[in-house]
């Protein structure tokens, strides 16, 4: 029994697949299955019930999985402490970020970070929210930034900040000069919504339901940029995060008015793999993002 075998076992359980666990360790599926059987022989218990498809983890297997996670985490922490002298912030850090945050915020943070640490480089990838999660879990990104981050057993989720939501319309709309807008005010208007599967759509729908309002959904899109374009050509109105419309409001393209729904915000979070030791550059960037306020 060694750490590599324990790590392999954890990856098999975490992915619910011998083939995926084996691929993560660059070994064959049969080799992964044999390694787990050797663990079972050494422990004298069945860890995985292979008679079911997909396989089921036994109570003993779950207990051993939790113990392995703790052991591997402690080992990584100890290794990090021993190598703590490697604190030079240089090289690249990979960040997967949703479009609306990346396009409007990351330019500022990237400039500030690289000015402070000129030997470091941030490599940004603009992705759909689900793809951000997949990129971090798949070790294609060191950090991920997305809205409405959900708990995940493979991820550490760090709240970053919350963005107020505002009513957005064309500058010639009858509500464009209001100081504050109630959901009832635009109930009959054509509403440009997010796609139903997105967390932001669910949060908006919930807030509207709580006020007994059912908007007239005319279009659905999966990103903020397309929704803003629709509003700019007077195709409808919407509810969007305030920071995401700042440039368009300043350019006089659209209007953004506070809502009588102060509790409606878009939470932004930072994620990274729970079992992965961040590089000094990635760790420094994480701390930087948490400390710098725009």
- CA distance to 25, 238, 239, 260, per residue, from 205 (Å): 43, 12, 10, 15
Q: Of 19, 21, 59, 60, which is closest to residue 39 (Cα–Cα)? A: 60
95 within 8 A of 141, measured Cβ to Cβ: yes
- CA dist 198 and 195 (Å) reads 6
The residue among 19, 51, 82 that closes a domain is: 82
Number of domains in the chain: 3
The residue among 27, 53, 82 that closes a domain is: 82
What one-character DSSP code corresponds to residue 196? T
- 157 and 169 inside one domain: no
Tokens at residue 264, please? 């409606």
- CATH number, domain containing residue 117: 3.40.190.10
- CA dist 30 and 173 (Å) reads 65
- CA dist 9 and 5 (Å) reads 6
Burial of 42 (0-12, 13-18, 19+ CB in 10 A): exposed
pLDDT tens readout for residues 211-250: 999 999 999 998 999 999 999 999 999 999 999 999 899 9
Output the pLDDT for position 162: 92
Mean pLDDT of the chain, nearest integer: 90
- 255 and 226 inside one domain: yes
129 within 8 A of 267, measured Cβ to Cβ: no
Looking at per-residue pLDDT, the higher value among 60 and 79 belongs to 60
Q: Of 294, 220, 213, 223, which is closest to residue 260 (Cα–Cα)? A: 213
For 105, the domain range is 91-161+267-291
- CATH number, domain containing residue 50: 1.10.10.10
- 72 and 102 inside one domain: no
pTM over 0.85: no
pLDDT tens readout for residues 143-165: 999 999 999 999 999 999 999 99
């Amino acid at each position: 029994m060694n750490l590599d075998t324990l790590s392999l076992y954890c990856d098999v359980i975490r992915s619910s697949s011998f083939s995926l666990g084996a691929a993560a360790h660059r070994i064959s599926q049969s080799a992964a299955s044999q390694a787990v059987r050797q663990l079972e022989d050494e422990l004298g218990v069945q860890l995985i019930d292979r008679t079911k498809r997909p396989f089921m983890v036994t109570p003993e297997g779950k207990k051993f999985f939790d113990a392995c996670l703790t052991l591997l985490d402690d080992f990584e922490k100890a290794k990090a402490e021993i190598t703590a002298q490697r604190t030079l912030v240089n090289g690249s850090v990979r960040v997967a970020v949703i479009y609306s945050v990346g396009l409007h915020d990351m330019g500022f943070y990237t400039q500030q970070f690289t000015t402070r640490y000129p030997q470091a480089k941030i490599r940004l990838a603009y992705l759909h929210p689900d793809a951000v999660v997949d990129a971090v879990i798949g070790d294609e990104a060191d950090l991920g930034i997305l809205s409405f981050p959900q708990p995940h057993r493979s991820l550490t989720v760090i709240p970053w900040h919350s963005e107020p939501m505002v009513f957005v319309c064309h500058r010639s709309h009858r509500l464009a000069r209001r100081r504050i807008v109630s959901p009832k005010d635009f109930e009959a208007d054509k509403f440009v919504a997010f796609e139903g599967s997105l967390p932001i759509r669910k949060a908006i729908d919930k807030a509207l339901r709580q006020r007994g309002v059912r908007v007239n959904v005319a279009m659905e899109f999966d990103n903020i940029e397309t929704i803003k374009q629709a509003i700019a050509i007077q195709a409808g109105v919407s509810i969007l995060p305030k920071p995401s419309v700042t440039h368009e409001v300043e350019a006089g393209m659209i209007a953004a008015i506070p809502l009588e729904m102060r509790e409606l915000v878009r939470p932004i979070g930072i994620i990274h793999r729970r079992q992965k030791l961040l590089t000094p550059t990635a760790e420094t960037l994480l701390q930087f993002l948490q400390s710098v306020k725009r």
